[in-house]
Copies of this chain bind each other. A is one copy, B any other.
Amino acid sequence: MSERRAEGQRTLQSLQRPAIGVDIGGTKVAAGLVDTDGRVLQRARRETPHRSKSPQVVEDTIAEVISELRDYREAIAVGIGAAGFVDATQSSVLFAPHLSWRHEPLRDAMRRRVGLPVVVENDANAALWAEWRFGAAQGEDNVVCVNLGTGIGGGVLINGELYRGRYGVAGEFGHMQVVAGGHRCECGNRGCWEQYASGNALVREARELAAAGSPVAHNLLVRVDGGASRLTGPLDTDAAKDGDPAATELFEDIGRWLGIGLANLAAAFDPGLFVIGGGVSEAGELLLNPAREAFRRQLTGRGFRPEARIIRAQLGNEAGLIGAADLARDRARIFRRRRSRSGRL
């Protein structure tokens, strides 16, 4: 075998290596070794350091999970998905609500520490990428994803490419005003969409309903021994799935607001598909049916335009790390191709 061919084969083999995806959430750092088909071969987890800790401490935690996974098998590259503003060059996190990062040059810091190519991406973008490559959005190149967690994360795919905006911070749908003078939002404004269609909104409404002493909330309250403040999103979901009428109504309300916001996004982006992910989406059709109904009722130009489909995400809470890993692999591939073309294989 010629030296050149042998080199080519080594490159090919290394491109088959798994990539590491790291998803930095508000409470957990979840990481995984991801193969070329988007399967998670091995997992590692830590608690997210409290936001009072220095950026250094968060980097230590990321380095730890990466090292743990590399002990299992060597990786080609690392992708880091973070809930926050990632700059246009995808090297710095401008701002992350749950962390101490402010203009944090994460990519280069981690690259130095782990000696592998590193990609930094907004977590919702990473999740959308995963759904497009391996999940619910396969085959549709114009997609808007909406992830209903504590708040709302958003991502936009245009002609099969992630759309990041001029400065890297597009897709912050949760902070679009839908109610003038509405509920106060963490972002400092009022009436943001995520105050009406998110996990936080669900829990707030459930607790208000229970605290009002309404008889319709009786069965919900029984589930938490009468302690309205112990009502959570997953508990509401379970209750709705069991047919509890109050919990079902709560999802109808959240779903209606979801549909209204999606109609706004359809007016702006006109995608072929909406993919709904995040913890709240585990309620499935209990959420999506009222959302579709409100969407059809609210869509501007209804009757004169093709309408986007609204479906549930498929990859669950691992979508972020799978997408981050796949984006990192993609970048590594492009990088190697360039090196190989310039003769520096």
Contacts and interface: CB of A to CB of B under 8 A. Distances in A.
Interface of A: 85, 94-95, 102, 142, 154, 158, 163-173, 175-180, 182, 187-189, 192, 260, 263-265, 267-272, 298, 300-302, 304-306, 308
B178 A177 contact: yes
Given A178-B177, A271-B166, A301 B187 contact: yes
A167 B95 contact: no
B305 A171 contact: no
Contact of A165 (B170, B175, B188, B271): B271
B178 A270 contact: no
Contacts of A182: 180
Contact of A167 (B158, B173, B270, B300): B270
Contacts of A172: 267-268, 270, 300-301
A340 to B, nearest CB: 27
Contacts of A271: 165-166
B304 A267 contact: no
Per assembly, the copies of the chain total 2
Contacts of A272: 166-167
A305 B167 CA distance: 8
Nearest to A187: B300
A177 B302 CA distance: 15
Contacts of A263: 177
A315 to B, nearest CB: 22
B192 A300 contact: yes
Nearest to A94: B304
Contact of A268 (B166, B179, B268): B268
A167 B300 CA distance: 14
Given A95-B304, A158-B163, A167-B306, 20 more contacts: A85-B301, A142-B165, A165-B269, A165-B271, A166-B270, A167-B305, A170-B268, A170-B270, A171-B270, A172-B268, A172-B270, A173-B267, A176-B267, A176-B268, A177-B298, A180-B180, A188-B300, A192-B300, A268-B268, A268-B269
Given A177-B264, A263-B177, A269-B268, A301 B169 contact: yes
